[in-house]
Amino acid sequence: MGAQLRVFRRRIRSVNATKKITRAMELIASSRIIKAQNQVAAATPYATALYKAVSLAASNARGNHPLLLNKKDGKRAAVLLITADRGLAGAYSANILREGERLTELLRDEQGKEVIPFIVGRKGLGYYKFRNREVAASWTGITDRPTYDDARIIAKALLEIFLKEEAQGGVDEIQIIYTRFVNRISQVPVVQRIVPLEVVEELVQSSSKMTEVDTHKPTLPLYDFEPSPDAVLDELLPKYIEYLVYAGLLQAAASEHAARQRAMKSATENAEDLIKSLTRRANQARQAEITQEISEIVGGADSLKSAN
């Protein structure tokens, strides 16, 4: 066997081993997408009830709750970026970091605000460390399977810096950047302001243009808050912030697994194409060796015949 044929066969074995790894990672990511989707679906009823309770309490409160007030003269903003802990997910983390750069430029250049970054995921943390940028806080090792406890810890750190005075290092708004899971093919980076909250009360109002069917719609009941709407908001709003962070983590986890599945599927297909190409070249090298051996045999036979 010639040296060239041995090289081709060695490369084919190596690519086959890589193909097995990428195929296994594709299947693992596919199964984790389903689990992440189930978590999002399981948290939806809680989010609906919590949002309704917050809306009703906010509509009866005095309107001066610190989590609902816009600080017009604020000069500092916190930005939470949710990236991945592991690679091999295509441009998933790069898209989030690019969106973070755009938001930072917008807040700094157009609104004159200082941006305080909070990072989730090793990819984002490595990006900021490589550029010698300061990070207020970071969390790693939670992006694959985020829990509500993780969201509670992150939300607590964000609320602490928001409730501080600006002279003591506080901020006037908190933005979160994550990837929203649309389907296995499409994932969209999203920028969402979580504090101050914008709670919209849904009311059913009567109108002269209402049809006969619309008149039978139930109106919102009247609630009596104990001890007061402001005290209820004090309890509900932090939980609502925790849920917003948790929802961002869940959406990001599903998007990361979908991006990794797509990247590994592409890598598997590329490995198959490379194996076909290497096999074809190995066959050509083997055919060339066979042709050369036949030529040598024929040439040797002619030489013996001429000598005799």
Relative to beta strand 76-82, strand 173-181 is parallel
Comparing CA positions, the residue from 1, 12, 3, 5 lying closest to residue 285 is: 5
From 18-22, 88-92, 108-112, 295-299, the region with the lowest mean pLDDT: 295-299
Rounded Cα gap, residues 203 and 214, in angstroms: 13
Sign for the CA dihedral angle at 236, 237, 243, 247 comes to positive
Residue 188 pairs with which residues in a beta bridge?
180
Tokens matching residue 181: 């899971």
Comparing CA positions, the residue from 99, 107, 126, 104 lying closest to residue 117 is: 104
Rounded Cα gap, residues 230 and 43, in angstroms: 25
- Summarised one tens digit per residue, pLDDT across range 231-255 is 778 788 888 889 999 999 999 999 9
Q: Are 273 and 6 in contact (CB under 8 A)?
A: no
- Summarised one tens digit per residue, pLDDT across range 41-53 is 888 888 888 878 7
Maximum CA extent, the chain: 120
- The DSSP H or E segment spanning 177 is strand 173-181
Comparing CA positions, the residue from 277, 257, 232, 254 lying closest to residue 12 is: 277
User: Across residues 100-128, what is the average pLDDT?
Assistant: 92
* Higher-confidence position of 61 and 149: 149
Q: Provide the pLDDT confidence category of residue 131 given band limits of 50, 70 and 90.
A: very high
User: Across residues 98-125, what is the average pLDDT?
Assistant: 92
Q: Are 288 and 216 in contact (CB under 8 A)?
A: no
The predicted pLDDT at position 8 comes to: 87
Rounded Cα gap, residues 131 and 128, in angstroms: 5
| Helical spans, DSSP H, in the chain | 3-60, 92-105, 122-130, 148-163, 229-307
Q: How many residues does the chain have?
A: 308
Q: How many CB atoms lie within 10 A of CB 259?
A: 23
DSSP-based three-state secondary structure for 106: helix
Query: Given this structure, which CATH class describes domain 24-198+228-262?
Result: alpha beta
DSSP-based three-state secondary structure for 191: strand
Query: Residue 222 to residues 201, 219, 261: CA-CA distances in angstroms?
Result: 13, 9, 49
Query: Residue 194 to residues 159, 174, 270: CA-CA distances in angstroms?
Result: 10, 6, 42
Tokens matching residue 220: 């919102």
Q: Provide the pLDDT confidence category of residue 1 given band limits of 50, 70 and 90.
A: low
